[in-house]
Amino acid sequence: MKTYLVIIGKNDKTWLNTGICEYLNRVKKYISLEIVLINDIKNKAKMPELIVKNKEGELILNKIPKNDTVILLDEKGKRLSSIDFADFFQKQMNLGNKNIYFVIGGAYGFSKAVYERSNYAISLSAMTFSHQLARLIFAEQLYRALTIINNEKYHNP
């Protein structure tokens, strides 16, 4: 099994990139993780929100094989504690052959087609974060989940 993080657009904030890289490097001690970068849509500022979401949705769906597990990181998703997320991720890993795709959408969220294709949706918080900051928060939570699963000291309940 391999884990993927699908993201829209590059991050231009050095401090965020430093934090994201730190946690993603830590994660690689435990699992195989690959970033799938989808380039920003050109001239999207001039497009209606629905068109942007649909175009991004097509690009996301083109990157994910049909039988793999898709987990959206979405403000409308289920709220889990760090321990609950670790349990959820452990169960996903125990299922065996499927790859897992975590997806962070663009600024407008996900298209209807992406919601329909997803297997799960998880909320990172009741608060709303920029999609760039969500990358850092997710990277830290994934690392935290892996240390919980491995009974290591990083997480202190």
Strands of the chain (E only): list them. Answer: 3-8, 33-38, 69-79, 100-104, 120-123
Fold of domain 3-149: Alpha/beta knot (3.40.1280)
**Sheet with 69-79: strands ordered across:** 33-38, 3-8, 100-104, 69-79, 120-123
Q: What are phi and psi of 58, to 5 degrees?
A: -60, -45
- Kindly tell me if the per-residue pLDDT of 43 is higher than 90: no
| pLDDT, tens only, 75-121 | 999 999 999 999 999 999 998 768 999 999 998 999 999 999 999 99
In this prediction, residues 31-41 reach a mean pLDDT of 94
| pLDDT, tens only, 6-19 | 999 888 889 999 99
Q: Give pLDDT, residue 157.
A: 56
Q: What percent of the chain has pLDDT over 90?
A: 78
